[in-house]
Structure 1
Amino acid sequence: MTLTTRAVLSGVTQTLQALDAILDKAVEQATERKIDPAVLLSSRLAPDMLPFTRQIQLACDFAKNAVARVGGGENPKFPDEETTVPELKARIAKVLAFVAAADDAALDAGLAKDVTFPRGASATVTMTGLNYLTRFALPNFYFHAATAHGILRENGIQIGKGDFLKGVFDI
């Protein structure tokens, strides 16, 4: 059996869809408890960590950047301007559409090619597409997705591992 890049990216799609559903639960529970959702969006797990909104933005960025860089296509720029849950959901939807539209053959071919990407303000790093995807992009994607989930849990939103893994068993 040959594992395709699309198969690997199916986990990204599933996790983005789960984050979208988690956002719905967060709004529903915040409304029931008379909590302004903006409070959740600015929450963080620790003082030196980024807030919830930025975690969602970064999860989206790592997903789209991986597809664009490995697939060799145009990398859309999404300004980090979201301040509401509907805006975050719209960003997730744009990334899901971008991932779905990616060329499978280009993604598979890109695993053997070099990918150069920025690291910090003034440095770049080059590695194979396979190493970029498996050792950098995907770990960062899942880190930010799990951190967003953790922030909501820390704030009393009743979600669990099953919410994070939503869709896993729908295959």
Structure 2
Amino acid sequence: MSFHDASVAAYLQMLNSLTGILTKAEAHCKAKNIQPDVLLGARLYPDMLSFTRQVQLVCDFATKGCARLTHSEVPTIPDTEKSFDELKARLAKTIDYVKSFKPAQFEGADSRDVTFPAGPDKTMTLKGQQFLSHYSLPNFYFHAATAHDILRHNGVEIGKRDFLGVS
């Protein structure tokens, strides 16, 4: 498996499944007469980030992961989404961005130094393989799973097949 496939394919699978999950969440709100803001602002626990923020972070870890692994300019995307449609648009833009990376851009990325923020006024540098497997993908999946779990906790009828994008 190429390093491109190990990163881009993983990001795309989850970004696409999250798009489907958002569609189900929106339908759930309509069917149960729930205001969308209820789910968009839902959290698993008061000190955790909201559903909307989880989706934004999923997008950020995919875009910034690809950019950092290929030493491309890291995009800055404002977190302004306030509706399911706006979150779906962000996911669509992220999917297009991730799809724009070619396999050749990832050649040697596994051993390339990747420097990224690691807290206020701090950076960390890892080799590309470590960055992908120990930082970018774990954070990406954490926020994707948390977004899924927030919706499931709030009664949206989704499961593992939805999370994996095979429903």
Report the TM-score, using the length of structure 2 for normalisation. Answer: 0.96
Aligned to 2:105: 106
Counterpart of 2:3 in structure 1 is 5
Cα offset for 1:6? 2.4
Q: Residue by residue, what CA displacement relative to the aligned partner does 1:45-94 show, whole Å, maximum 9, x if unpaired?
A: 01111000000000110011110000111222110111111111111111
Distance 2:49 2:87 in 1: 15
Q: 1:119 offset after TM fit, Å?
A: 1.0
In structure 2, the residue matched to 1:131 is 130
Q: Does the CA contact (< 8 Å) of 1:45 and 1:151 recur in 2?
A: yes
Q: Per-residue deviation at 1:103?
A: 2.5
Q: Is the 8 A contact 1:71 1:103 kept in 2?
A: no
Q: Conserved in 1, the CA contact under 8 Å of 2:116 and 2:124?
A: yes
With the length of structure 1 as denominator, give the TM-score of the two structures.
Answer: 0.94
Q: Secondary structure, in 3 states, of the residue corresponding to 2:39?
A: helix
Aligned residues of 1:72 and 1:107 also touching (Cα < 8 A): no
Given residue 152 of structure 1, which amino acid in structure 2 is its aligned partner?
L
| SS at 1:17 equivalent | helix
SS of the equivalent of 2:42 reads coil
- For residues 43 and 110 of structure 1, the distance between their equivalents in structure 2, rounded to whole angstroms, comes to 37
Number of the residue aligned with 2:60: 61
CA RMSD of aligned residues (A): 1.2
Q: How does 1:6-155 map to 2 (within 5 A)?
A: 6-8=4-6, 9-155=8-154
1:159 is aligned to 2:158: yes
Q: In structure 2, give the amino acid aligned to 1:70.
A: L
For the Cα contact (< 8 Å) 1:62–1:137, is it kept in 2? yes
Q: What are structure 2's unaligned runs of at least 5 residues?
A: none
Q: Distance in 1 between matches of 2:38 and 2:3?
A: 37
Question: Any stretches of 5+ residues in structure 1 without a counterpart?
Answer: none
The 2-side partners of 1:122 and 1:94 are apart by 29
- Partner amino acid for 1:23? L
SS in 2 for 1:109: coil
1:72 and 1:5 map into 2 onto residues whose CA distance is 14
Q: CA shift at 1:167, angstroms?
A: 3.9
Query: 2:151 is aligned with what amino acid?
Result: L
CA contact (8 A) 2:18 2:144 kept: yes
Q: State the alpha-carbon separation in 1 of the partners of residues 154 and 100 from structure 2.
A: 35
